[in-house]
Amino acid sequence: MMMNEFSIVCRLLGTIFQREPADPILSPIIAMIGDGKLSALWPLEQDELFNTLKHSVKDLALVKTDYQTLFGGEAPAVSIYAHDYTDIKEEDTRQFLVARGMPVTESATDSFGALLLAASWLEDNSAQDEILAQTQLFDEYLLPWAGAFLGKVEAHATSGFYRTLAAITRGALSALHEELLDDETNDAEEE
């Protein structure tokens, strides 16, 4: 996987987890999934999962309801925040991102989607130490709780969309982390 593909994978998954299915920004992505066009552009071998995902967006009303049950409202079934799974504090995540030059808003920086979007931003915008920064983001702020989060999504989802998305994300995180470790090793050997 080329590193710009790293950014695209993180941006797409981050956007899908960060936004409601009815969000206008997400509409073109949902349409690409439904038309089977996203799988053709996806750099990882996950065609079977994307085929399942494609069929699961046919009932968009169910996907929207599932999102609200899983992540929305006063009492979501699944927390999207790292601080609910680990001792990682939101302010620590914020400081890490600000120290690397990432502009942040008042929104929480430790949500699953926001962390994936941050990984994409680091790939696209950070200085020479981007691989170290991305590895640190994965190792310290995302991977320690990603498995528990995705497991809860799989357990509580009523639509095939979010169950399948969790499986795609699990595989993608593994591939992305492996890519970071390989790049880190290559950089160390070049020095």
Query: Is residue 25 classed exposed, middle or buried when 0-12, 13-18 and 19+ CB atoms within 10 A define those classes?
Result: exposed
**Is 80 exceeded by the pLDDT of residue 184?**
no
Gap between the Cα atoms of 95 and 90, Å rounded? 9
- pTM of this prediction? 0.92
Query: Mean per-residue pLDDT for 178-184?
Result: 84
Beta bridge partners of 142: none
Task: Give me the pLDDT at residue 181, please.
Answer: 87
Residue 88 has pLDDT above 60, yes or no: yes
Beta carbons of 52 and 139 less than 8 angstroms apart: no
CA-based angle 53:177:182, to the nearest 5? 130
Mean pLDDT confidence for 124-147? 87
Least Cα distance to 174 among 44, 50, 52 occurs for: 44
Considering only residues 129 and 20, tell me which one the structure prediction assigns the higher pLDDT.
20
Kindly report, residue by residue over 91-120, the tens digit of the pLDDT. Answer: 999 999 999 989 999 999 999 999 999 999
Backbone phi, psi, residue 112, to 5°: -55, -50
In one letter, which amino acid is 89? K
Cα separation, 128 vs 109, in Å, equals: 23
In the predicted structure, residue 3 carries a pLDDT above the cut 60: no
**Residue 191: strand, helix, or coil:** coil
- Would you state the pLDDT for residue 144? 97
Distances (CA, A) of 142 to 7, 31, 78, 119, 146: 15, 28, 16, 10, 6
* 8 Å CB contact between 131 and 187: yes
Position 1 scores a pLDDT of 46
pLDDT in tens, 53-78: 999 999 999 999 999 999 998 899 99
